[in-house]
Amino acid sequence: MLAANAVAESIRTTLGPKGMDKMLIDGSGDATITNDGATILREMDIEHPVAKMIVEVAKAQDDEIGDGTTTAVIIAGKLLEKAEALLDQDVHPTVIVQGYKQAAAKAQTVLQEMAVTASSDPKMLLKIAQTAMRGKGIEIAMDKLALISVDAAKAVAGFEGKDLEENIKIVKIPGGRIEDSIINHGLVVEKERTSPEMPKKISNARILLLEGTLELKKLDTDAKVTITEAKNLASFKEGEEKVIKDQVDAIIKAGANVVFCEKGIGVPAQNFLARNGILAARRVKREDLKMLALATGARLVGDVMTVSAKDLGSAKLVEERKIGKDKHMIFVEGCEKAKAVSIILHGVSEQFLEEMERALDDALNVVLDVIRSGKIVAGGGAPEILVAEKLRQYASTLEGREQLAIRAFADAVEAIPLTLAENAGFDPVDTLALLRAKCGQGAKNFGLNIISGQPSDMLAEGVVEPLKVKTQAIKSAAEAATMVLRVDDVIAAKKEEMKPKPGQSPHDYTMPQMPMPHY
C-alpha cells in the first residue's frame, strides 16, 4: 500500500490548472519537464511490483480514453490509504473489496445521471479542448491549439480507430511563431523530391502509393553474369533501362503525376519520371503511406505494372516547401473527405514543442470522446463532490460492514476537489466544506473556481469534461485498489535453473525465456 500510495503522491501536485511540473532526468542526463500524469508515470524508474500495477492502471486509462490518468491514480492511492485505516479496525479485505465494488457501480450510475447531452457545436467543443489543456504550461498557445484540435477531431471522428496516430500526424518544427501552427487536411511527408529536375508543385494531383521499388533488383550473392563482347554489354544495359521505362510508362498510362514509393527509386527511373513531369519521393515510411491512403483515397500498390486509374488518390495540391533553414517537406493538401490530417506545430524550443504535443493529444482525445458519445459533465471537482454525497446516502441504507468501505470510497473520491484547492493555494478543508454545502442544497454542477476559490457553476463557466473520462477514472482506480487489497503477501518466486537443451553441451547454457509478468 505504501508503494502504491507513493506513486499517487508523486503526481498529486500536478493536478488541475494550477498544478506544478515535474522534471524527469534520464540516464543520459536529458530532462523532460511536464505535468502530464501519463508521461510522468511512463518515464519514472519504478521497481516495486505493486507500484508497477498502479502505473499499468494509468497506462490503461491513457490508452482507453487519452486523459484522466492523474485523476485515476490519485483516487487509487486514496482508496488504498482509506483501506489501510479500515484494516486497522479489523475490517476484512474481502469486505472492503466488496464495498468498493458496490461503490464503484453506484458512482457510475450517479455520473450517468449527472451527464448532459452535448451538441457538436464548435463553441462547446472548444471549451472541452481548453479544459483539457489548462495547466499544461502552454496557456500562451491554448486558444490556437484548441481550434486546431477541434478541427482535426471533427475531420477524423467518422473513423472508428482508437489510436489517433493512425489518423493524425503531428509534425514539430522548432522556431517560428506559435501562430504559424496549422492543420493540413491532407498529409505532410518529411521527404523531398528524389531529383531536383522534378517539378516542385503539382496541381490537381493524381497520387500513386507504391509499396515496391522503381530500381533494378540486385543479383543474388552467388549469381554471375558473363559478357564476352562489348556490344552485349550495351544491349544488357539497354534491357535494364527498358524494364525501368516500362514501369514508368505504366505509371504514366494510369494517369499518375505524383509517386510516393516505400523503397528506392533508381537514377534511370528518376530521369524518366522527371522528363514526364512527375514528382516522386522515395523511402517513404509505411505509416505515412497508410495515412496518405486515408487522406487521398489511394490504394497501396505492390506491383507497378498492375497499376490502374482506380488505384490512384487525389489532392488539389502537392508541393515541396522549405521549412526552417535546411528542411524540405512535401505538403499534400486539399484532400476531399480526408480521413487523415496533419498538424504542423511551431515553437520556441524542443521542450515547449513536446509539451504542446502532449496537451494537443489530450485535447484531441477528449473532443473525439464527446463527438462520439455526446455526453459531458461539469469539471472543477463537481462530479466527485456529487458522487461522494450520493455514496454517503447510499451507505446509510446498508446494514453490513460494506457501508464502512463505501464511506471510505466517498472520502477517497473527494481527494480530487481537495487536491485542486490545495494546488491552487486555497485552504482545502474550507473549500471542501463550501462545495459540500452547495451540493447539499441541490447545486450538482458546482465545482471549484480556481480564480476566486469559491464554488461556481462549472457548466456556466465552460469548464466541462467528457463523461467517459470520469467513469473510466473511477473504474480504473477501483480495479487497481481491489487488485492490491486482494494481495496479502509478497513472495519471491523461485528462479528457473539454467539447464542444457537436448543435444547441447553441458557447458553451453542458455537462460530459458521467462514470460513477462502482466498485471
Task: Judge whether residue 510 has pLDDT over 60.
Answer: no
Q: Which of 350, 322, 317 is nearest to 334 (CA)?
A: 317
| Domains along the sequence of the chain with CATH | 2-117+377-485 (1.10.560.10), 186-337 (3.50.7.10)
pLDDT for 352 beyond 60: yes
- In this prediction, residue 16 has a pLDDT band, given cuts at 50, 70 and 90, of confident
User: How many whole angstroms separate alpha carbon 289 and alpha carbon 294?
Assistant: 9
Least confident of 62-71, 84-93, 480-489: 62-71
121 or 347, higher pLDDT: 347
Percent of the chain with pLDDT over 90: 6
Predicted TM-score (pTM) of this structure = 0.71
Q: Residues with catalytic annotation?
A: 36, 69-70, 362
pLDDT given for residue 509 in this prediction: 47
CB neighbours of residue 429 within 10 Å: 11
DSSP string, 365-404: HHHHHHHHH-EEEE-TTHHHHHHHHHHHHHHTT--STHHH
3-state DSSP: the chain helix, strand, coil percent, rounded to 5? 50, 15, 35
250-279 pLDDT tens trace: 888 888 899 999 888 888 888 888 888 889
Highest-pLDDT range among 1-5, 356-360, 412-416: 412-416
Statement: residue 347 has pLDDT above 50: yes
Mean pLDDT calculated for residue range 342-368: 83
Render pLDDT for 152-194 as a digit per residue (tens, 0 to 9).
888 777 766 556 777 888 888 887 777 778 888 888 888 888 8
In this prediction, residues 37-56 reach a mean pLDDT of: 79
Q: Is pLDDT at 516 greater than 80 in this prediction?
A: no
- Looking at every residue in the chain, the average pLDDT score rounds to 81
| Cα(15)–Cα(74) distance, integer angstroms | 9
Cα angle 316, 320, 322 (rounded to 5 degrees) comes to 135
**Statement: residue 519 has pLDDT above 50:** no
* Higher pLDDT, residue 233 or 125: 125
pLDDT of 160:
61
Q: How far apart are CA 189 and CA 366, in angstroms?
A: 27
DSSP 299-357: -EES-GGG--GGG-EEEEEEEEEEETTTEEEEEEE--TT-S-EEEEEEESSHHHHHHHH
**Phi, psi for residue 419 in degrees, rounded to 5:** -70, -40
pLDDT band of residue 505 (cuts 50, 70, 90) is low
